[in-house]
Amino acid sequence: MEIGGIPEDRHYGILRPADSRQKIYLRGTMIANRRQISIVSYEDCQRIAEHMGLPSIKPEWLGANIMIRGITKLTELSTGARLIFPDGTGLICEGENLPCLGPGKVIEYIYNQAGLHREFVPAAQKLRGIVCSVEREGKICKGDSLRIISTS
């Protein structure tokens, strides 16, 4: 994990062009990349699946870089909270990853059910996880523990 995120990931980079989420900047204006890393919880993926009447939702279908277990209400983690991993890798929570139609279309394709994509946004409210930026480089490994330092 580098300061810009995960090399070769679509959200890699220190800067990125403003899009529809940053209404105060002209679209395409280069701004700080606060979406370098996307994190979801296993529990929230299961809840989304339940809401949609599906057997499962996989994190990669949501575009997530990291899946964690055992943290309830991950999506409600406060902006500015730090996620610290065993080797010192540090991520800053930049806020909720709002549900959108893109993952819904992936889920619709996987399950081959026309119209299923429309169910994703309401089913994933407060369950889509968080986006983070990298504060300290390092290596995150499967099975690592995680320490959260909240700012509130």
| pLDDT tens track for 81-127 | 999 999 999 999 999 998 888 999 999 999 999 999 999 999 999 99
Q: What is the pLDDT of residue 23?
A: 83
Count the Cβ atoms, other than its own, within 10 Å of residue 4: 18
Neighbours of 113 (CB within 10 A): 14
Tell me the C-alpha distance between 56 and 132, whole Å: 25
**pLDDT-based confidence at residue 20 (cuts at 50, 70, 90):** confident
- Asked if residue 135 lies in contact with residue 127, where contact means CB atoms within 8 angstroms, the answer is no
Q: Which amino acid is at 20?
A: S
Cα dihedral across residues 23, 120, 109, 129: positive or negative: positive
- Give percent above pLDDT 90 in the chain: 84
Local confidence band at 149 (pLDDT 50, 70, 90 cut-offs): very high
Whether pLDDT at 152 is above 70: no
pLDDT of amino acid 78: 93
Place of tokens 């930049």: 94
Query: How confident is the model over 16-32, as a mean pLDDT?
Result: 88
Four-way CATH pick for 34-149: 2.60.40.10, 2.40.33.20, 3.40.1110.10, 3.40.50.300: 2.40.33.20
The string of pLDDT tens digits covering residues 97-107 is: 988 889 999 99
Structure tokens at 37: 């890393």
